[in-house]
Each structure stands twice: as C-alpha cells, then as structure tokens.
C-alpha cells in the first residue's frame, strides 16, 4: 500500500503565504530582514510537530454497508489508486494542530444527523431520500441535472492534481476581490492572511469530520451501486482527465468544497461588512464549461460550492449542508480571534 504524504487541496502551503511561503527574507530588502524573517521564524516554531507529517494509513471498517470503502479506481498518471483502505488520502489531517481553532473538532456535529450506527443510517427514510437524489442528479448520464447545475459542478471542481484545488481557486479569488475594492497594500495583506488562515483551519475541520466522527460515510457511487439491479453500474459525472468516472479517495461526510467555500464567503463578509459584491471568479478545472463566472455576492460562492459536489455525484446533500455549516463557523471564529489589534494604537511586542 502506498504511503501518503499529501496536503489536502494545498491547505497548509496556502496558509504560509503569510510569510513569503516560508522562503525567508531577500537580503537587499530591509523590510524582509526586519519583518519577514521574524514572522518566518515564528511560523516555523509554531508549526513544528503540528501533525501534518503523520504517515499512518487508514484502517477503519470498510465492509459494513454505509461505511466508507475504496471506490475501485486504478492508479493513473494524474491521480493515485483507490483500491485498498490504506489508499485513503490524508486520514490524519483532522488531527493537525489548527492555526486559530482550538481543535479540528471544535465545530463538528456529534454525528451525521444524529445517527450513531451504520445500520441505523442505511435503514432510515432520510438516507433513502439522500441516495435517490444523488442517483438522479449526479449520474454521468443524468436527465434531471440542468445545464446550470452541470456548469456549477465543473466550475468549482478543482479536484484533480495539477489544478489549484479549492483553496488555491479561492485565494486567487481573494486577489480578484482585493483589486475590485481597490485595497491598499496593508489591507490586501490582511485580507490574504485572513483568507489563508480561514482556509487552512477549514481544511482541518473538514478532515476531522470525515475521519474522526462515529460515522465514516461511504460515497454515493458505493451506496448507489449497492442497490443492485440497474444501479449496479451507476457512475458519477465526476471524472479524471481522461474522462473516466472518478470519486475522491476519502470519506464523504462532510464536503470539503462546501466547507472551504462557506468559510471563504464568511471571511469576505466579515472583512467588508457586506455580502453584496460583484466580481468575476475563474476556473482552471480541465472539464469546466465556463472559464469565468460572474458572482453577485460572497454568499453565491458558498451556495454554488456547497452543492457543486452533489451535481458531480460525489456527495450527498447532507454532506454539503453540514460542510457549509462547519465552514461558516470556522470563518466566523477565525475572523473574531485572529489578526486583531493586540493593543489600541500600539503594535504587538514580542
């Protein structure tokens, strides 16, 4: 089994853009020597032994109906295999020391909608409704998914290696918003720092909910194919670069995309003190049907990101809803507890 040393969606590197990507100061620049060098040393000290290099593989239950199991994809040049339990991507990321949160579990619900066993989950009427919805709107050959839903699904995808992944797409969007509002250098710096910290902790919170709760939920492709009959060969719209149906190799609940976009939107709302804003988002996903998409509010980003994964057939509705709720809580908490003045009118002294 392959050993994974993978930062989910580029989360941690995004955060350390706070200090020039930890590259250290440039000798000719006094500001780098006086400020950046100090910040780099502080970040390196703070992140030492943060748990991000934990090599342990996933060894949870992968046989009980309802429990996550590998989705069967073979390794490709772009993506890893998903055939063994140990192929699960970064199962320990939820245990990484957060940047601002007290712990990755700070905003995790006690369980997936109150279910405490897989038997209770898969035999519930609500579960049946969740599965049926994705079966209808998330299939590669769905006749119920609208073109707009397909556009949204692919626009926010960024799952495949070689793309920005969600945090990178959202950090690029942070720059777009900063230019839109004509922020000065210091305001732009604070906005990027806020975005990076929020996305970093959102990723930790998302992976905590995926791997560290009592229910490690299987993906729609596993749930729907288990129904048998005409559903035995069901496949999601989501695909690798070659167009082969593909599902991310980790637990479904909750949605990382919904978590990231929800957290980012709240960070923007809190920073600017408003939701309404007109700006253009950009997608580099290889399958996107539109490279640019006009946004009319920060919450539109959260709403589209929330359900984009359901339209692609890789998440259930409750994965999306609960993921956005966690991300919203993370965004509010980070804004209230980070990058605030330490003393009125005076800089912080070490």
The model's pLDDT over 245-257, given as tens digits with 9 standing for 90+, comes to 999 999 999 999 9
The yes-or-no verdict on residue 349 having pLDDT over 90 is no
* Whole-number pLDDT of residue 342: 65
pLDDT digits (tens, 9 = 90+) for 178-212: 999 999 999 999 999 999 999 999 999 999 999 99
Does an H or E element contain 207, and which?
A: helix 185-211
For the CA atoms of the chain, what is the radius of gyration? 20
* Whole-number pLDDT of residue 26: 53
pLDDT digits (tens, 9 = 90+) for 247-295: 999 999 999 999 999 999 999 999 999 999 999 999 999 999 999 999 9
Average pLDDT over residues 103-108: 98
The yes-or-no verdict on residue 224 having pLDDT over 90 is yes
Residue, of 272 and 11, whose pLDDT is higher: 272
Could you tell me the pLDDT band of residue 20, with boundaries at 50, 70 and 90?
Answer: very low
Could you tell me the pLDDT band of residue 350, with boundaries at 50, 70 and 90?
Answer: very low
Nearest-angstrom CA–CA distance, 132 and 78 = 31
Angle at the Cα of 323 from the Cα atoms of 88 and 238, rounded to 5 degrees: 55
Question: Shortest CA distance to 290 belongs to which of 298, 280, 299?
Answer: 280
Residue 32 is given by DSSP the state I
Could you tell me the pLDDT band of residue 344, with boundaries at 50, 70 and 90?
Answer: low
Could you tell me the pLDDT band of residue 347, with boundaries at 50, 70 and 90?
Answer: very low
Percentages of the chain per state (helix, strand, coil), in multiples of 5 = 50, 5, 45
Average pLDDT over residues 37-47: 86
The answer to which of 57-66, 139-148, 333-342 has the lowest mean pLDDT is 333-342
Nearest-angstrom CA–CA distance, 162 and 168 = 11
Which residue's entry shows tokens 């989360």?
11
pLDDT digits (tens, 9 = 90+) for 138-184: 999 999 999 999 999 999 999 998 898 999 999 999 999 999 999 99
How high does pLDDT run on average in the chain?
Answer: 90
Q: What are phi and psi of 292, to 5 degrees?
A: -120, 145
The most distant pair of C-alpha atoms in the chain lies apart, rounded to whole Å, by 69
Contact 342, 348 (CB under 8 A): yes
Could you tell me the pLDDT band of residue 6, with boundaries at 50, 70 and 90?
Answer: very low
Which residue's entry shows tokens 């020597």?
33
Average pLDDT over residues 303-323: 98
pTM above 0.75, yes or no: yes
* Whole-number pLDDT of residue 27: 55
Nearest-angstrom CA–CA distance, 79 and 57 = 18
Contact 266, 327 (CB under 8 A): yes
* Whole-number pLDDT of residue 19: 41
Secondary structure (3-state) at 132 = helix
Does an H or E element contain 278, and which?
A: strand 276-282
Q: What are phi and psi of 173, to 5 degrees?
A: -65, -30
Nearest-angstrom CA–CA distance, 84 and 62 = 9
Q: State the number of CA atoms in the 13 A half-sphere of 153 facing the CB.
A: 23
Nearest-angstrom CA–CA distance, 163 and 257 = 14
């Amino acid at each position: 089994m392959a050993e994974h040393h993978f930062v989910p969606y580029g989360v941690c590197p995004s955060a350390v853009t706070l200090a020039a990507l930890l590259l250290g100061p440039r000798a000719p620049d006094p500001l780098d020597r006086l400020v950046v060098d100090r910040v780099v040393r502080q970040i390196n000290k703070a992140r030492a032994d943060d748990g991000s290099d934990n090599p342990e593989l996933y060894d949870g239950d992968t046989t009980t109906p309802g429990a996550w199991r590998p989705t069967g994809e073979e390794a490709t040049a772009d993506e890893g295999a998903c055939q063994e339990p140990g192929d699960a991507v970064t199962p320990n990321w939820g245990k990484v020391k957060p940047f601002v949160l007290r712990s990755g579990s700070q905003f995790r619900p006690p369980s997936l909608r109150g279910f405490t066993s897989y038997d209770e989950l898969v035999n519930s009427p609500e579960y049946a409704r969740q599965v049926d919805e994705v079966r209808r709107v998330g299939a590669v050959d769905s006749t119920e998914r609208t073109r707009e839903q397909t556009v949204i699904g692919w626009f926010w995808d960024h799952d495949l290696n070689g793309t920005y992944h969600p945090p990178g797409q959202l950090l690029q969007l942070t720059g777009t918003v900063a230019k839109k509002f004509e922020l000065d250098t210091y305001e732009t710096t604070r906005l990027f720092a806020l975005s990076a910290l929020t996305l970093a902790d959102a990723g930790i919170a998302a992976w905590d909910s995926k791997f560290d709760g009592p229910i490690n939920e299987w993906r729609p492709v596993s749930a729907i194919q288990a129904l048998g009959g005409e559903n035995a060969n069901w496949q999601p719209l989501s695909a690798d670069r070659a167009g082969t149906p593909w599902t991310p190799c980790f637990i479904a609940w909750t949605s990382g995309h919904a978590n990231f976009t929800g957290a980012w939107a709240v960070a923007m709302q809190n920073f600017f003190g408003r939701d309404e804003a007109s700006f253009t988002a950009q997608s580099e996903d290889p399958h996107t049907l539109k490279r640019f998409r006009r946004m009319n509010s920060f919450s539109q980003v959260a709403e589209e990101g929330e359900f984009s994964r359901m339209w692609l057939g890789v998440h259930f509705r409750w994965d999306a809803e609960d993921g956005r709720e966690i991300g919203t809580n993370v965004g509010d908490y980070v804004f209230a507890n980070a990058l605030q003045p330490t003393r009125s009118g005076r800089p912080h002294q070490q």
